[in-house]
Structure 1
Amino acid sequence: MSVNLEEIQRAYDEADCLVAPEQIEAALDNMAEAITARLARANPLVYCVMNGGLIVAGRLLAKLNFPLEVAYLHATRYGHELSGTLLDWRVRPTQDLRGRSVLVIDDILDVGTTLAAVIDHCYEEGAKDVLSAVLVNKLHDRKARADFKADFVGVDVEDRFLFGCGMDYKGYWRNAPGIYAIKGC
């Protein structure tokens, strides 16, 4: 696959910043406070959904000052594409979930197909309860299930093609410090 780094750079240079880095930090602080209030005494197993959840989980977990177990899973619908429908389980959860409280951390709740499948899988494996945390909730009416929402949300963002803070543009810019929208998308 040939990558046009000039086009990748241009996408960042021309993007609209929808959520500034300092707003991200405040959102993560608020999420950490709410998660702590709910799970501090629950001995939770926390799953990071790769790859998008990596940045969010890394920043959020450092703000949770209580005992927890961390693991990862990898389920995707996009790969490096801009859209996708087929769920691809690359790494399934391997820990014993029976009777556990589980927190699933991801970058974004867009349609929610991936997150819903992960939550369902955790329940099928015997989790006592499964909560979800996303940095971004995309505002639209196309959720995978009616009234589907994350338990902990950092920010609500308009329905555009987003990147930064874990979300990518053609595999790049997960490391961008804010949340950006592709110009015209």
Structure 2
Amino acid sequence: MTPRLANALQGAECLHDRAAIDAVISRMADAIHADYAGDATPPLFVTIMHGGMPFATQLAFALGERGLDVEFEYLHATRYRGQTRGSGLAWLHRPATSMRDRRVLLVDDILDEGHTLHAVTRWCEDQNAADVRVAVLADKLHDRRVEGITADYIGVEVPDRYVFGYGMDYHEQGRNLPAIYALAE
């Protein structure tokens, strides 16, 4: 562990441990399975990189355990680029799979202000996706959300503090921590 991450963890508060996260992923998988189970074509399961990867992996396994097949795809769009404050959106990779007439499930680590998810959702709609839904592990509680952006499936709520772990980073570190932490206030 780097000194920077060790210092951040030293004063951090554990908001949601691995057991709690596993429980909410199971609950989310039940809800997603119920919404997609009758479809003839598997949904396009689009992981938003890098933060969405740990959560998306666990969610995909939980869906497979319930008998729901998904077709994997990913995209990489970011506003942070290693910083703790967002700036303009940068598209680093767009999906190669056609979204035309497909049901798309976007999977991300957190819904904060929603700029990235708003842009990604609109892009999927512009690609003529039949339906676009959003699953996020964490929903940050504040009043700065982009108008009109919500998640269809939410794992946990987090306070309006800088959070990291389980996909969310602190200066590109700590994404692989098996819990969600908030920096000391």
TM bucket normalised to smaller: over 0.9
Distance 1:40 1:57 in 2: 18
**Aligned match of 2:169:** 168
SS of 1:175 mapped into structure 2: coil
**Aligned match of 1:23:** 20
**Aligned match of 2:84:** 82
**Aligned match of 1:155:** 156
Letter in 1 for 2:59: L
**Aligned match of 2:113:** 111
Shift of 1:26: 0.6
**Aligned match of 2:103:** 101
Distance 2:129 2:165 in 1: 31
Distance 2:141 2:167 in 1: 18
* Equivalent residues in 2 for 1:11-160, closer than 5 Å: 11-42=8-39, 43-64=42-63, 65-146=67-148, 148-160=149-161
Deviations 1:9-51 (A, max 9, x none): 1111221001121111111001100010011233200100000
Distance 1:41 1:102 in 2: 15
Letter in 2 for 1:34: A
SS of 1:105 mapped into structure 2: strand
Letter in 1 for 2:150: K
Deviations 1:96-148 (A, max 9, x none): 111000000000000011011111001100100000000000000101114x2
**Aligned match of 1:10:** 7
Deviations 1:152-176 (A, max 9, x none): 0001111110001100000000111
TM-score normalised by structure 2 residue count = 0.94
Distance 1:19 1:101 in 2: 30
Distance 1:114 1:40 in 2: 28
SS of 2:109 mapped into structure 1: strand
- For the aligned residue pairs, the C-alpha RMSD in angstroms reads 1.2
Q: Please list every run of 5 or more consecutive structure 1 residues that lacks an aligned counterpart in the other structure.
A: none
SS of 1:55 mapped into structure 2: helix
SS of 2:62 mapped into structure 1: coil
Shift of 1:72: 0.6
Shift of 1:85: 2.2
Letter in 2 for 1:23: A
Distance 2:69 2:22 in 1: 22
What is the aligned length?
180
